[in-house]
Amino acid sequence: MSGRPYYVDWDISHMFKVPQNVLSLHQVKGANIGLIGFSKGGDLCLSMASFLKGITATVLVNSCVANSMTALHYKEMTIPSLGSDLSKCTVTESGFLESLHIWNNPLEKPNHQSLIPLEKAQGPFLFIVGKDDHNWKSEFYAHIASDRLQAHGKDRPQIICYPGAGHCIDPPYFPARIASVHPVLGLPVFYGGEPRAHGRAQVDAWQQIQTFFHKHLDAKISVKPSKL
């Protein structure tokens, strides 16, 4: 077996009843559902919000607005993967891979079909962006989303950018993942981020995410600020 990663095509048709199934859980209070996705999980959440009914609010953490890595299927429709050029992958002095520049520009005509039609979504979006992300051009993608939504008469999404923050903006007080072995590639990858700025971004982003969800899912609940 080669060392190249293997991806299976995503099919979200079977997720059609996910909102209804989630609402039936006794832990769920109210009729609203929020999604949060990070990296590849972000464009999957964008697709779910775009095609499935009942999604009220969606948070994307350093995510792409185009379908990535493999084709995505929904009913009779297929969204192809955004193309990439692995020859543009760079290596740091420490031997870590950087994939920031490998992905094709989704705004260029040959790549338009990979863009996710997020204007079909029912609820608002929050984009969390690490400005030192070395995996995705996250800020660029967030502004593509903003322009697309406004072009279709939708509200501008909330975009929060964190200078010095890298790709892996985890919940607060988790160790900053500046670099590690990628779980899919099996290779050391540099994610970016300055430790202090990244740590502060994790704390603030967590508060912003909770505030966003409470605003759109349950306006009666307030969020206690961090004491960091």
Catalytic sites, residue numbers:
39, 133, 167
Q: Which two tokens stand for residue 68?
A: 């990535």
**Nearest one of 38, 41, 55 to 130, comparing CA atoms:** 38
Separation between Cα atoms, residue 224 and residue 34, nearest integer Å: 20
Separation between Cα atoms, residue 111 and residue 203, nearest integer Å: 35
Are 47 and 72 spatial neighbours (Cβ–Cβ below 8 Å)?
yes
Q: Residue 89: left (phi > 0), alpha (psi -120 to 50), or beta?
A: beta
Q: What is the C-alpha radius of gyration for the chain, rounded to an integer number of angstroms? A: 18
Separation between Cα atoms, residue 165 and residue 198, nearest integer Å: 4
Separation between Cα atoms, residue 13 and residue 72, nearest integer Å: 10
Task: For residue 151, count other CB atoms closer than 10 A to its CB.
Answer: 9
Separation between Cα atoms, residue 188 and residue 91, nearest integer Å: 10
